[in-house]
Amino acid sequence: MAPIVEIKEVTKSYRRGDRVTPVLMDINLDIEEGEFLALMGPSGSGKSTLLNLIAALDQVDSGTIKVGGVDITALSEGDLAAWRAVNVGFIFQFYNLIPVLTAFENVELPLLLTSLSRKERREHVAIALEIVNLASRVDHYPSQLSGGEQQRVAIARAIVADPTILVADEPTGDLDRKSAEEILELIGRLNRESHKTIIMVTHDPRAAQKARIIRHLEKGYLNDVPTKVGL
């Protein structure tokens, strides 16, 4: 069976005027379904860029990326937006919740792009909030929640559409240690119990140790040997 994510000879540079800055060089990476992969590397190593390419938030200069057998590098902008809505769940460092919406409404947002009925959307949201242990906070606004609770709302939003992959960019970077541990345990549980494929960018070795495999980026190159962590 093919890996859930297949990255072949991907390169990426950023251009500012006449200046071209290479960010990723000849990246080859396969990620198996149900894997929990941590991408590590110093600032500027290209790890967030690689995550954004996998999530179709950015486009490669050359090479191909397939997710679930779909070559996302060949899709149009319109098709990419529709593809992301169904296939990618996003967990960001700063939560990206909408302040004027309740926890329930924030989690429901991705479902508004689907064909689900209102009743079906409510059922999906209730399940997602139950999974992150926030069923009692559905009517609370982000300002009424702690940082850890806001990140749990963001995780519920990421999983509510049952995406193919979850991508997490420094998901504990804005949290205290206790809240960070709780969020990492939740992400790990989604991997172990719900068999979610998770790709996490982090600079924190403690966070990376929660993953099953660690890959390091250095100056745009991916190390050849993965570090196996979890079992």
In tens, the pLDDT along 47-71 reads 999 999 999 999 999 999 999 999 9
Count of structural domains, the chain: 1
Is residue 56 a part of any domain in this protein? no
C-beta of residue 186 within 8 angstroms of C-beta of residue 158: no
Is residue 219 a part of any domain in this protein? yes
**Domain of 209?**
37-48+76-228
Is residue 199 a part of any domain in this protein? yes
Return the structure tokens found at 95.
């939560």
Distance of CA 82 to the CA centre of its chain: 17
Residue 151: CATH number of its domain? 3.40.50.300
Instruction: Name the average pLDDT for the chain.
Output: 91
Share of the chain above pLDDT 70, in %: 96
What integer pLDDT is reported at residue 225 of this predicted model? 64
Average pLDDT for 68-86:
91
The residue behind tokens 């050849």 is: 224
Residue 77 pLDDT level (bands cut at 50, 70, 90): confident
Is residue 166 a part of any domain in this protein? yes
Is residue 18 a part of any domain in this protein? no
Whole-structure pTM value: 0.90
pLDDT(116) > 60: yes
Average pLDDT for 113-134:
92
What integer pLDDT is reported at residue 212 of this predicted model? 93
Is residue 209 a part of any domain in this protein? yes
Is residue 7 a part of any domain in this protein? no
Is residue 5 a part of any domain in this protein? no
What integer pLDDT is reported at residue 134 of this predicted model? 93
C-beta of residue 128 within 8 angstroms of C-beta of residue 157: yes
Map the chain to HEC letters.
Answer: CCCCEEEEEEEEEEEECCEEEEEEEEEEEEECCCCEEEEECCCCCCHHHHHHHHCCCCCCCEEEEEECCEEHHHCCHHHHHHHHHHHEEEECCCCCCCCCCCHHHHHHHHHHHCCCCHHHHHHHHHHHHHHCCCHHHCCCCHHHCCHHHHHHHHHHHHHCCCCCEEEEECCCCCCCHHHHHHHHHHHHHHHHHHCCEEEEECCCHHHHCCCCEEEEEECCEECCCCEECCC
What integer pLDDT is reported at residue 186 of this predicted model? 93
What integer pLDDT is reported at residue 1 of this predicted model? 64
